[in-house]
Structure 1
């Protein structure tokens, strides 16, 4: 029987200390060579085990085999020089040293397919795999070849589509595209960003998700959030476009945010992956808190289209906190399942 309100994680889980430095974003690997390959697989096994043990219904890799949700994918492409770095403004929010596009970008070989195949072997539950979206990819690079954000985004969209089709063939049920840039570059989203995302999902039979978040709890993001006022309504720019798109599932953060839940009404008819777990602090939600967030969301999305999730990735959190938050997510979803069943 299909699970009502299936739970899922948006992205990362903390890596074990023997693989990378805990509570540190994008920390270098502690292993190398064959030991690193084995260590990544062991970490992925642990992530699957903990998700299953704590009641997560749609299993992901927890990003155990990658350091960064964008650059790990880009590292496998030709045409990008990681030795030639420049400082650019990321999402109009903070400066970062990034690699440079020096030639035509091409996917020389599959990037995540081997890891996804390994994930598929670990569980019979539905599995989800995340890829960076085209707009967020171009916002994480200095471009000296295409000299056009739109042209580079179209190239990435075509590359992502090939990768997504091979992930689908490897048994991935849900393919997620991370597009935090959609919360910033509204004119570009309207003019060509949505079109490039549609190109990335073209021809897929697997369900597709777009995840648009406000970012991790790092200082640059929390400082930005502090400027957004009493209500965060950035989703009002992209949601009407997404409602008319071929994307199946819209992922948004909600718990402990200033996002009015009525924005969910703008994607009525789509499945909604609703963030009911805050990833910006170490406080472990009570199941009833999670249930309350989901209960409020049900005014704007039908129960059979609601997927309770985390707001974003949990890599910066202590491992025990992240695991406890997973348990809270599952327990809160179970409260609402019971209420929905009783109301029928």
Structure 2
């Protein structure tokens, strides 16, 4: 068989977010497990048959997940933490690990490499009852085969599984190889019974992260073993998001069948091909992470270059990574100047099929049809004047060092020890969404819309005053999304109607598209923040999304340097900070939730990113006076290797996610002598469980073991928009009451010492 095309993986949420809705109905007990399973089966069928109609040669099974593929792998290996082992029902236990229960906190989530997708982090310990549970994999393969689709089976590889795990007591997660790799061998033996020839795609993106000598040695031994399990198993080891040249040579020396390589985000992969003769090369030339149409001419040129090195018959045209990271289809998007330049998942599959036919000589297209255009000519706006000039100007920073600013701010705000606040958003109710939707469709008047927003803000302020929070927020009722809202206020952004991408579980985001130069034409947040501030004598935070996060959570033009785009956004935010300050807002939060996820995966590229990312943040807040307190927020980050960069950002207060990660994430701040103020999250907002007052007290005292209480804030992990008021009200009440109790305990201890 001449193999032409492979799709690394397909989105599972559905064209109209069917899986999201089915999951949420099941969790709320308004739908049965059978109904959820029926929706899932229909989605798998639809996605398999679509790819089959496009004549894709390698279609995936086991790329579907009810929540997360890493969580599925945890289940496959029975690596279930002890706190969930008492839950007998498999489905209940699966979702408990992801979302927590009244008695057990959820497993930690982290960002999947440098994307906005979150995975469940495996917890390895000596008490785990490792054993193979292959039911999902075997069942879905049979399900596809019954539909006439012979799939490759996608599996998170053992090196990536261990590399992304956290082991107890500071153990090396790769020390569990002797318990984990035999289960992968057992899995392959079970799969070998399914068909005469079976293709297994072992996903090993961990290999792009400067693998150590230990990892390289383990990699060789593992795949030497795995590829020898059965003669009818053909293993494709797939990496993505960067180059993995260190491992290409090693894997080429094992009996694996093929290598999946990302030539879009890891163009250096071509350098490793000199070692790969004799292996199938699954050449990732269709971008699985951005939404611009493929430059077919450039892709064909690259494919020819690859085939010159390894032989044409060894090359299979592939997506660069799973299409999980792009929206489903352009079919229902309205016409616009930019639509013709876009390709979502379904369009990328069509591009892939066309590239495969052209590369194999089945069709011949002239240059006009192939689309040999420069990236710049794809997009409507290409002028570089005005705000863009600031990208090459001098570095701008705010006045005063932290010690000076902190002294002025303490005198101004008179906040108690362990001041309490939230990260920004409050629950986005159905009524609130309907209000914005009706106003957008002009079904209600502007007056009715504004009254609805004011009522929500009034209620938020009243609630926060009632429970005794120290620094308030307006709740963000006017905002659909923390990036989309600002993009709608800035020039240079385009928005889709249905461009949803899965972030985690049932949570989806709709990234804007940056197609032109960015500038601000008017204040974006001042009106509603000022309205909220007039409702309280306590400080109300101005809430902005930072330049690096807006950049990283958008689809960005390919022909403009990312640092320049970030700098343009920062210049606009700098103007907004000045306007908020002039309106009397004295605490301003500039969220950089995606700062960490933007880090390059290769160490050699890190310093350049840090330089322009920090410069962008500092430019954004450079208009703040010394007395104005600047907060920032980061979530789902490991701060060990970026603490000096966080110091360089020089925010007065940083709030971070630690409710699941605990003090492990905080140790570095104390160890490295971080002097600015910090709010370690004590409320896991990604779980529906409501922590008790006692649990909050334990969380706070735990944080005080590693942080100085004089510079510590108390807050949730993240914004509360995805939670329900029925959860938020009691949880925040418990958080504030617990903080008061801790303050009293600390005061009594101080008194007894004197």
Is residue 2:733 matched to residue 1:311? no
Is residue 2:667 matched to residue 1:262? yes
Match of 2:431, SS state, is coil
Change (3 A) 1:185 1:18: closer
For 2:634, the equivalent position in structure 1 comes to 212
For 2:650, the equivalent position in structure 1 comes to 246
Higher Cα Rg, which structure = 2
Given the alignment, which residue of 513, 516, 538 partners 1:100? 513
Is residue 2:492 matched to residue 1:79? yes
Distance, in Å, in 2 between the alignment partners of 1:87 and 1:17 is: 19
Q: Is the 2:552–2:598 Cα contact (8 Å) retained in structure 1?
A: no
For 2:596, the equivalent position in structure 1 comes to 183
For 2:473, the equivalent position in structure 1 comes to 60
Distance, in Å, in 1 between the alignment partners of 2:684 and 2:425 is: 13
Match of 2:550, SS state, is helix
Compute the displacement of 1:241 (Å). Answer: 1.7
Change (3 A) 1:289 1:89: closer
Compute the displacement of 1:335 (Å). Answer: 1.5
Please give the per-residue CA displacement for 1:28-74, whole angstroms capped at 9, x wherever unaligned: 53554321111011101111111111121100011122111111011
Distance, in Å, in 2 between the alignment partners of 1:334 and 1:159 is: 39
Q: Is the 2:530–2:583 Cα contact (8 Å) retained in structure 1?
A: yes
Change (3 A) 1:271 1:282: same
For 2:622, the equivalent position in structure 1 comes to 202
Q: Is the 1:268–1:301 Cα contact (8 Å) retained in structure 2?
A: no
Q: Is the 1:18–1:30 Cα contact (8 Å) retained in structure 2?
A: no
**Cα RMSD (Å):** 2.6
For 1:112, the equivalent position in structure 2 comes to 525
Q: Is the 2:542–2:585 Cα contact (8 Å) retained in structure 1?
A: yes
For 1:290, the equivalent position in structure 2 comes to 696
Distance, in Å, in 1 between the alignment partners of 2:524 and 2:559 is: 23
Compute the displacement of 1:87 (Å). Answer: 8.1
Change (3 A) 1:149 1:284: same
Please give the per-residue CA displacement for 1:244-297, whole angstroms capped at 9, x wherever unaligned: 443111111111335613133146311111211110112211122112222122
Distance, in Å, in 1 between the alignment partners of 2:689 and 2:499 is: 37
Change (3 A) 1:28 1:338: same
Match of 2:422, SS state, is coil
Q: Is the 1:242–1:267 Cα contact (8 Å) retained in structure 2?
A: no
Is residue 2:435 matched to residue 1:13? no
Distance, in Å, in 1 between the alignment partners of 2:498 and 2:613 is: 25
Compute the displacement of 1:89 (Å). Answer: 9.6
Match of 2:541, SS state, is strand
Match of 2:534, SS state, is helix
Distance, in Å, in 1 between the alignment partners of 2:461 and 2:508 is: 35
Please give the per-residue CA displacement for 1:119-178, whole angstroms capped at 9, x wherever unaligned: 111100011122111111112323338621111000111111110111112122211121
Distance, in Å, in 1 between the alignment partners of 2:543 and 2:511 is: 21
More helix by share: 2
Match of 2:457, SS state, is helix
Distance, in Å, in 2 between the alignment partners of 1:255 and 1:84 is: 34
Distance, in Å, in 2 between the alignment partners of 1:234 and 1:189 is: 17
Q: Is the 2:575–2:623 Cα contact (8 Å) retained in structure 1?
A: no
Task: Write out aligned runs for 1:33-52 (5 A).
Answer: 33-52=446-465
Is residue 2:597 matched to residue 1:193? no
Change (3 A) 1:189 1:124: farther
Change (3 A) 1:89 1:111: same
For 2:687, the equivalent position in structure 1 comes to 281
Question: What count of residue pairs does the alignment treat as equivalent?
Answer: 319
Q: Is the 2:574–2:619 Cα contact (8 Å) retained in structure 1?
A: yes
Match of 1:78, SS state, is strand
Change (3 A) 1:334 1:155: same
Is residue 2:586 matched to residue 1:173? yes
Q: Is the 2:545–2:592 Cα contact (8 Å) retained in structure 1?
A: yes
Change (3 A) 1:9 1:131: same
Match of 1:79, SS state, is strand
For 1:230, the equivalent position in structure 2 comes to none
Structure 1: runs of 5 or more not aligned: 22-26, 215-232
Distance, in Å, in 2 between the alignment partners of 1:167 and 1:138 is: 22
Match of 2:485, SS state, is helix
Q: Is the 1:78–1:105 Cα contact (8 Å) retained in structure 2?
A: yes
Compute the displacement of 1:84 (Å). Answer: 9.3
Distance, in Å, in 2 between the alignment partners of 1:145 and 1:267 is: 39
Higher relative contact order (CA 8 A, sep 6+): 1
Q: Is the 2:487–2:512 Cα contact (8 Å) retained in structure 1?
A: no
Distance, in Å, in 2 between the alignment partners of 1:151 and 1:84 is: 27
Change (3 A) 1:289 1:172: same
Structure 2: runs of 5 or more not aligned: 1-413, 600-605
Q: TM-score, normalised by structure 2?
A: 0.40
Is residue 2:565 matched to residue 1:161? no
Q: TM-score, normalised by structure 1?
A: 0.85
Distance, in Å, in 2 between the alignment partners of 1:126 and 1:61 is: 11
Task: Write out aligned runs for 1:324-343 (5 A).
Answer: 324-343=730-749
Distance, in Å, in 2 between the alignment partners of 1:173 and 1:139 is: 27
Is residue 2:486 matched to residue 1:70? no
Change (3 A) 1:95 1:275: closer
Distance, in Å, in 2 between the alignment partners of 1:137 and 1:20 is: 22
Q: Is the 1:182–1:238 Cα contact (8 Å) retained in structure 2?
A: no
